[in-house]
């Protein structure tokens, strides 16, 4: 239906945009728009809100190693994939107990809680619901994980990168474009590969992880910050007006 609506309304617009090269290619391949009629304009990140900083309020115990996932509890995010991957990890890593925090709400919550119990990880998995302090939670996490089956852009990946977090993500939609090599990519819908990716990220020496975090932040500053995206929109409108 979405592709059909794009086809029938294409002539009404001078130009269409989408949030990643992968998304544009998919729309062209599906016949939603002709080649050359849709261009990429990335989503922008508010760097004043998402940044690396030390907070005084500690939401976790010092002996916990925290993995964080953020997103609605919906099939798109494939949280069963994440829970199954987490169940393959050791309960503790270098003397710190592994903990998984999931921020978001949705109709799948009861089923996900049941799966956590079935996998024997219910004491380590915490469903935090909807939160207004995501930047703070990102800063206090050790690792960010995206387990999605599909994405258009992967906004939360960019937000985690802006906070200089290590990122492990499934290679879907525009996620690889956002990461730009500054994280660990794994195939979607493969919990064993996701578990291996998480272990790879956790095994990084501290100096390597910090260097990766700085590079991730620099990529967001240069490519995805609000000022860069605003300039891109201004350029497009000026070009079309002329």
How confident is the model over 104-161, as pLDDT tens digits? 999 999 999 999 999 999 999 999 999 999 999 999 999 999 999 999 999 999 999 9
**Which pLDDT score, from 0 to 100, does residue 242 have?**
73
Report CA-CA distances (Å) from 24 to 4, 11, 85, 115, 190: 15, 17, 31, 36, 25
Domains and CATH numbers, the chain: 2-45+225-241 (no CATH), 64-223 (3.40.50.2000)
State the pTM of this model: 0.93
**Which pLDDT score, from 0 to 100, does residue 171 have?**
98
What is the mean pLDDT of the segment spanning 86-108?
A: 97
Percent of the chain exceeding pLDDT 70 equals 97
Residues in Cβ contact with 92 at an 8 Å cutoff, skipping those fewer than 6 apart: 65, 98
**Which pLDDT score, from 0 to 100, does residue 203 have?**
96
What's phi and psi for 112, nearest 5 deg?
A: -70, -40
User: Is residue 61's pLDDT more than 80?
Assistant: no
**Angstrom distance (rounded) from CA 126 to CA 198:** 18
Q: Element (H or E) spanning 7, and its range?
A: helix 2-9
**Which pLDDT score, from 0 to 100, does residue 56 have?**
60
**Which pLDDT score, from 0 to 100, does residue 26 have?**
92
What is the mean pLDDT of the segment spanning 82-99?
A: 96
Q: pLDDT of 70-82, one tens digit each?
A: 999 999 999 999 9
Alpha helices in 88-164 (DSSP H): 109-119, 134-140, 155-162
C-alpha distance across the termini of the chain, in Å: 33
User: Is residue 162's pLDDT more than 90?
Assistant: yes
Query: Using 50, 70 and 90 to split pLDDT, how confident is the model at 10?
Result: confident
**Which pLDDT score, from 0 to 100, does residue 25 have?**
94
Report CA-CA distances (Å) from 175 to 19, 157, 185: 11, 7, 9
**Which pLDDT score, from 0 to 100, does residue 4 have?**
79
**Which pLDDT score, from 0 to 100, does residue 113 have?**
99
Query: Using 50, 70 and 90 to split pLDDT, how confident is the model at 231?
Result: very high
Q: pLDDT of 15-59, one tens digit each?
A: 999 999 999 999 999 998 999 999 999 999 999 999 998 766 566
What is the mean pLDDT of the segment spanning 222-228?
A: 97
**Which pLDDT score, from 0 to 100, does residue 172 have?**
97
**Which pLDDT score, from 0 to 100, does residue 58 have?**
60
Q: Which long-range contacts (CB under 8 A, 24 or more apart) does 166-172 make?
A: 166/142, 166/201, 166/204, 166/209, 166/212, 166/213, 167/143, 167/201, 167/216, 168/143, 168/144, 168/194, 168/197, 168/198, 168/200, 168/201, 169/145, 170/78, 170/81, 170/146, 170/194, 172/148
User: Is residue 60's pLDDT more than 80?
Assistant: no
């Amino acid at each position: 239906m979405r592709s059909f609506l794009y086809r029938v309304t294409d002539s009404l617009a001078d130009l269409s945009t989408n949030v990643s090269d992968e998304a544009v290619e998919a729309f062209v391949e599906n016949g939603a728009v002709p080649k050359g009629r849709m261009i990429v304009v990335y989503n922008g990140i508010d760097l004043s809100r998402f940044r690396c900083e030390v907070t005084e309020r500690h939401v976790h115990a010092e002996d916990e190693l925290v993995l964080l996932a953020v997103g609605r509890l919906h099939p798109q995010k494939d949280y069963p994939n994440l829970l199954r991957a987490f169940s393959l990890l050791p309960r503790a890593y270098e003397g710190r107990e592994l903990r998984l925090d999931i921020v978001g709400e949705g109709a799948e919550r009861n089923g996900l809680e049941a799966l956590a119990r079935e996998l024997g990880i219910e004491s380590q998995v915490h469903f935090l619901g909807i939160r207004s302090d995501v930047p703070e939670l990102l800063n206090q996490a050790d690792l960010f994980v995206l387990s999605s089956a599909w994405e258009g852009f992967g906004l939360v990946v960019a937000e985690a990168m802006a906070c200089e977090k290590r990122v492990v993500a499934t290679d879907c939609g525009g996620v690889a474009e956002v990461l730009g090599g500054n994280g660990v990519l794994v195939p979607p819908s493969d919990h064993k590969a996701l578990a291996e990716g998480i272990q790879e990220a956790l095994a990084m020496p501290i100096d390597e992880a910090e260097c990766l975090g700085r590079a991730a932040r620099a990529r967001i500053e240069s490519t995805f910050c609000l000022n860069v995206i605003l300039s891109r929109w201004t350029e497009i409108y000026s070009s079309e007006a002329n």
